[in-house]
């Protein structure tokens, strides 16, 4: 998705902004641009380019100096990727420059009105209407000009505005698209993502929806779009700048898969209470009486987070005996759902900024529901909109394809399920059993990661497949779904996940030698049923790769994973399939960290 970075201070701004843009590359984009000025400069200087940041860098002239600037990586929504459509956008008199994340819903009407008044547009973007609206305002201050322009706009935005006549400041505003201020020593930063800031400062202020800010080199203030002053409390970002480096790996995906033992250790740290065989989740804001009153749990997320939520729902049903299910947030928000006061809603998101999830949370809150968050990014929009929750502490996840965050989110659900279980019917013995299982996870993940060479060799045998089927039953089904998403996202091989129990009801028709099946076969009460599914596939000459706790005779290949408690097995069974997807993609020469058409955080509809 689009990225914003801005700076005002004393340093040479262009290299700083280009470096910031590079740190945002992981979000996915198709063009980039930068505009700069300085207190002594007469106007604004801008460079834009379709393609990568390095192409933009190549176009930056030698004498492109200044101390204030804003820059952007664009993900095309209105208008194709091109130099003209790249941000920043400038007014005809070259005095106003804007970078924008989000979508202006009424851009077509606004554009028609502005064109009827003689405004000439230079791009096909929705953003350009904002530039002209700001440029037309005759208010005394830049803040007021931006405020007046925003009054006409419907939709979502995170914007940064530079004006040649007010070049001692950058004005920013947020509505549905993240904006973070970074506080330095006599310098200020702005970005859509802390990744662009942490190399310079870890003191940040996250704007709320409906909030604006003016940043100057030595000062900043925040206020609402209506003009009332707000209180900005700076917080310290936990993540180090180094956490965003590749750390000796060839790709972020590989780095993040490898980091899982430590990441899981972090999500468990300080939360286990051996004395009462339970866990403490400090941020839950749900007392025991309230927790006992919950009649249902509804988990909402998108993509991988939705799959983690499906495993979470299963764990909550098993350990807490509360009916639970997961649903894509993107569907939920559009189906006018019945909001039930006895249901606990849980929003799941790595980024904490996914628009579909945020919109679902806002709709639920409007209707009086209690919503918790299971989120990775501390202080993100979903973390702040929810009534409490569990941080998953996976550390920054840069690869577009989610891996360590999936695992940590599922572990966080294990903790939530155990907590809810222990204040209801779950016995001390079962609590203890689950805690022991959770503690084993980091070492067991390390064991799985050691089999990478074997998984790589296997993956290379499946690269010819045009399509693959992933099957699993009950606990194994969401694992199959997530593994199939991983494979298609990163290798572009078509993959479809089905409950193993549904084979006979349709997908068996697909089975033939050229259609491999990946089967999740845990050693649990459904082992024999899963084995029967393998027989059915083998009888039709289908090739099978099983992920199991013991070698499966009917499978052509088995990846054996360590056994944990039945309820926690799904956490481990997905990990070899992350490596499988990775090595398949590597063998096919894919752009692993930035798969085509995908963005890291989907902050638009
Ligand atoms: O940041 P979120 O967890 O809310 O993101 C949700 C999905 O967009 C995300 O999981 C997506 O499916 C990833 N590309 C999965 O690898």
Residue 135 CA to ligand 1 center (angstroms) comes to 37
In the prediction, which pLDDT does 450 show? 98
In the prediction, which pLDDT does 77 show? 77
d(CA 368, CA 207) in angstroms, rounded, equals 24
Fold of 246-444: Rossmann fold (3.40.50)
Give, for ligand 1, the residue of 178, 252, 301, 302 to mutate: max count of ligand atoms closer than 8 Å to Cβ: 302
The pLDDT confidence band at residue 70, using thresholds 50, 70 and 90, is very high
Per mean pLDDT, which range of 1-5, 389-393, 396-400 is the poorest? 1-5
Spatial CB neighbours of 108, under 8 Å, sequence gap ≥ 6: none
> What's the mean pLDDT in 345-354?
95
Q: Is the pLDDT of residue 32 over 80?
A: yes
Relative to beta strand 388-391, strand 68-74 is unpaired
The pLDDT confidence band at residue 245, using thresholds 50, 70 and 90, is confident
172 forms bridges with which residues in the sheet? 160, 213
Per mean pLDDT, which range of 145-149, 280-284, 468-472 is the poorest? 280-284
Q: Which residue of the set 2, 302, 399, 405 is catalytic?
A: 2
Q: Which residue's CA is the closest to the ligand 1 atom numbered 11?
A: 303
In the prediction, which pLDDT does 243 show? 77
Residue 410 CA to ligand 1 center (angstroms) comes to 14
Continuous H helices in 152-251: none
Task: Judge whether 603 and 511 are in contact, CB under 8 Å.
Answer: no
Spatial CB neighbours of 200, under 8 Å, sequence gap ≥ 6: 16, 182, 184, 187, 189
The pLDDT confidence band at residue 103, using thresholds 50, 70 and 90, is confident
Q: What angle do CA 177, 179, 183 make, to 5 degrees?
A: 170
> What's the mean pLDDT in 342-346?
97
SS3 assignment, position 424: coil
Per mean pLDDT, which range of 12-16, 73-77, 382-386, 523-527 is the poorest? 73-77
In the prediction, which pLDDT does 195 show? 87
Residue with tokens 């995906």: 253
The pLDDT confidence band at residue 190, using thresholds 50, 70 and 90, is very high
Q: In sequence order, what E strands does 192-336 have?
A: 203-206, 211-216, 219-224, 235-236, 272-273, 278-279, 296-301, 324-328
Q: Which residue of the set 50, 486, 594, 600 is catalytic?
A: 600
Residue 81 CA to ligand 1 center (angstroms) comes to 23
Q: Is the pLDDT of residue 371 over 90?
A: yes
Task: Judge whether 207 and 6 are in contact, CB under 8 Å.
Answer: no
Question: Is 302 noted as a catalytic residue in this protein?
Answer: no
Helix axes 404-422, 428-449, angle to 10 degrees: 170
**Predicted confidence (pLDDT) per residue in 257-279, tens digit:** 999 999 999 999 999 999 999 99
Residue 467 CA to ligand 1 center (angstroms) comes to 22
In the prediction, which pLDDT does 373 show? 97
In the prediction, which pLDDT does 156 show? 87
Instruction: Kindly report the number of other CB atoms within 10 A of residue 12's CB atom.
Output: 16
Fold of 2-243: 3.60.20
In the prediction, which pLDDT does 228 show? 93
Task: Judge whether 87 and 72 are in contact, CB under 8 Å.
Answer: yes
> What's the mean pLDDT in 311-316?
98
SS3 assignment, position 154: coil
Q: Is the pLDDT of residue 380 over 90?
A: no
Instruction: Kindly report the number of other CB atoms within 10 A of residue 199's CB atom.
Output: 18
> What's the mean pLDDT in 34-51?
91
In the prediction, which pLDDT does 599 show? 79
Number of the ligand 1 atom closest to the C-alpha atom of 302: 6
Give, for ligand 1, the residue of 253, 256, 301, 350 to mutate: max count of ligand atoms closer than 8 Å to Cβ: 350
Q: Which residue's CA is the closest to the ligand 1 atom numbered 9?
A: 303
> What's the mean pLDDT in 377-405?
93
Q: Is the pLDDT of residue 23 over 90?
A: no
Give, for ligand 1, the residue of 27, 251, 303 to mutate: max count of ligand atoms closer than 8 Å to Cβ: 303
Residue with tokens 């056994």: 563
d(CA 330, CA 235) in angstroms, rounded, equals 31
Percent of the chain with pLDDT over 70: 100
d(CA 519, CA 535) in angstroms, rounded, equals 12
Give, for ligand 1, the residue of 253, 360, 402, 595 to mutate: max count of ligand atoms closer than 8 Å to Cβ: 402
The pLDDT confidence band at residue 340, using thresholds 50, 70 and 90, is very high
In the prediction, which pLDDT does 177 show? 85
Mean of the per-residue pLDDT values of the chain: 94
In the prediction, which pLDDT does 333 show? 86
Domain 246-444 matches domain 451-593 at the CATH topology level: yes
**Domain residue limits, the chain:** 2-243, 246-444, 451-593
Task: Judge whether 279 and 381 are in contact, CB under 8 Å.
Answer: no
d(CA 376, CA 516) in angstroms, rounded, equals 34
Percent of the chain with pLDDT over 90: 86
Residue 303 CA to ligand 1 center (angstroms) comes to 5
Residue 58 CA to ligand 1 center (angstroms) comes to 32
226: buried, middle or exposed (CB in 10 Å: 19+, 13-18, 0-12)?
Answer: exposed
- 451-593 CATH, one of 3.40.80.10, 3.40.50.300, 3.40.50.10860, 3.40.50.10490: 3.40.50.10490
Q: Is the pLDDT of residue 405 over 80?
A: yes
In the prediction, which pLDDT does 95 show? 96
Tell me how far CA of residue 66 lies from CA of 58, 190, 192, 556, in angstroms.
18, 16, 22, 63
Q: Which residue's CA is the closest to the ligand 1 atom numbered 10?
A: 304
> What's the mean pLDDT in 13-19?
96
Residue 260 CA to ligand 1 center (angstroms) comes to 17
Q: Which residue's CA is the closest to the ligand 1 atom numbered 8?
A: 303
d(CA 474, CA 70) in angstroms, rounded, equals 50
Number of the ligand 1 atom closest to the C-alpha atom of 409: 3
Q: In sequence order, what E strands does 164-265 have?
A: 170-175, 180-183, 188-191, 203-206, 211-216, 219-224, 235-236
In the prediction, which pLDDT does 240 show? 76
Number of the ligand 1 atom closest to the C-alpha atom of 350: 3
SS (H, E, C) 284-307: HCCCHHHHHCCCEEEEEECHHHHH
Number of the ligand 1 atom closest to the C-alpha atom of 595: 14
The H or E element spanning position 532 is helix 527-539
Spatial CB neighbours of 500, under 8 Å, sequence gap ≥ 6: 471, 472, 473, 476, 477, 519, 529, 530, 533
> What's the mean pLDDT in 381-402?
93
- In this structure, what token pair is assigned to residue 312? 């979470």
Residue 605 CA to ligand 1 center (angstroms) comes to 13
Sheet with 96-101, side-by-side order of all strands:
89-90, 96-101, 157-163, 170-175, 211-216, 219-224
Backbone phi, then psi, for 545, in 5-degree steps? -115, 115
> What's the mean pLDDT in 533-548?
96
* Helix-, strand-, coil-residue percentages of the chain, each rounded to 5: 40, 20, 40
> What's the mean pLDDT in 383-403?
93
Question: Is 600 noted as a catalytic residue in this protein?
Answer: yes
Number of the ligand 1 atom closest to the C-alpha atom of 403: 16
> What's the mean pLDDT in 84-101?
95
d(CA 85, CA 414) in angstroms, rounded, equals 46
Residues within 6 Å of ligand 1 by CB: 302-305, 349-351, 354, 357, 400-402, 489, 598, 601-602
């Amino acid at each position: 998705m689009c990225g914003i970075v801005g700076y005002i201070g004393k340093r040479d701004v262009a290299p700083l902004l280009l470096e910031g843009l590079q740190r945002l590359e992981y979000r996915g984009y198709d063009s980039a641009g930068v505009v700069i000025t300085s207190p002594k400069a007469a106007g604004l200087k801008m460079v834009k380019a379709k393609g990568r940041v390095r192409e933009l860098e190549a176009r930056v002239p030698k004498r492109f100096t200044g101390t204030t600037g804003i820059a952007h990586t664009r993900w095309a929504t209105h208008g194709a990727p091109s130099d003209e459509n790249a941000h920043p956008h400038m007014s005809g008199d070259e005095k106003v420059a804007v970078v924008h994340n989000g979508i202006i819903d009424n851009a077509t009407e606004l554009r028609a009105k502005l064109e009827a008044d003689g405004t000439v547009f230079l791009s096909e973007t929705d953003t350009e209407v904002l530039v002209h609206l700001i440029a037309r305002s005759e208010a005394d201050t830049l803040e007021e000009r931006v405020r007046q322009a925003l009054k006409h706009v419907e939709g979502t935005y995170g914007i940064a505005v530079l004006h040649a006549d007010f070049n001692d400041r950058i004005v920013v505003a947020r509505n549905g698209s993240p904006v973070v201020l970074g506080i330095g020593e006599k310098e200020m930063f702005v970005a859509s993502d802390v990744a662009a800031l942490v190399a310079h400062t870890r003191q940040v202020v996250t704007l709320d929806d409906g909030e604006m800010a003016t940043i100057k080199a030595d000062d900043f203030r925040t206020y609402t779009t209506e003009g009332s002053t707000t209180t900005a409390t700076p917080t310290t970002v936990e993540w180090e700048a180094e956490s965003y480096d590749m750390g000796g790996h060839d790709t972020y995906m590989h780095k993040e898969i490898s980091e899982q033992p430590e990441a899981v250790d972090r999500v468990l740290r300080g939360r286990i209470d051996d004395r009462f065989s339970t866990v403490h989740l400090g941020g839950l804001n749900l007392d025991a009486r309230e927790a006992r009153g919950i009649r249902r749990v509804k988990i909402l997320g998108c993509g991988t987070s939705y799959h983690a939520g499906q495993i979470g729902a299963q764990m909550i049903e098993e350990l807490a005996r509360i009916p639970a299910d997961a649903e894509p947030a993107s569907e939920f928000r559009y189906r006018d759902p019945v909001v039930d006061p006895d249901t606990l809603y849980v929003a799941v998101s790595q980024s904490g900024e996914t628009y579909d999830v945020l919109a679902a949370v806002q709709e639920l809150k409007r209707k009086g529901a209690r919503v918790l968050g299971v989120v990775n990014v501390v202080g993100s929009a979903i973390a702040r909109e929810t009534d409490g929750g569990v941080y998953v502490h996976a550390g920054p996840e840069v690869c577009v394809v989610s891996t360590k965050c999936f695992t940590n989110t599922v572990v966080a659900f294990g903790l939530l399920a155990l907590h809810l279980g222990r204040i209801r019917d779950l016995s001390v013995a079962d609590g203890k059993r689950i805690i022991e299982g959770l503690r084993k996870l980091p070492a067991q993940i390390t064991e799985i990661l050691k089999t990478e060479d074997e998984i790589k060799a296997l993956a290379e045998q499946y690269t010819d497949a045009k399509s693959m089927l992933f099957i699993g039953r009950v606990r194994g089904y969401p694992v199959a779904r997530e593994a199939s998403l991983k494979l298609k996202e990163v290798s572009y091989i078509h993959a479809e996940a089905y409950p193993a129990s549904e084979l006979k009801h349709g997908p068996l028709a697909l089975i033939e030698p050229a259609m491999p099946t990946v089967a999740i076969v845990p050693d649990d009460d459904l082992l024999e049923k899963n084995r029967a599914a393998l027989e059915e596939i083998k009888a039709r000459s289908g090739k099978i790769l099983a992920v199991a706790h013991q070698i499966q005779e009917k499978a052509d290949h088995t990846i054996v994973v360590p056994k944990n408690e039945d309820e926690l097995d799904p956490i481990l069974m997905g990990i070899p399939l992350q490596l499988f997807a990775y090595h398949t993609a590597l063998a096919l020469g894919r752009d692993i960290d930035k798969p085509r058409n995908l963005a890291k955080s989907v902050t638009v509809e």
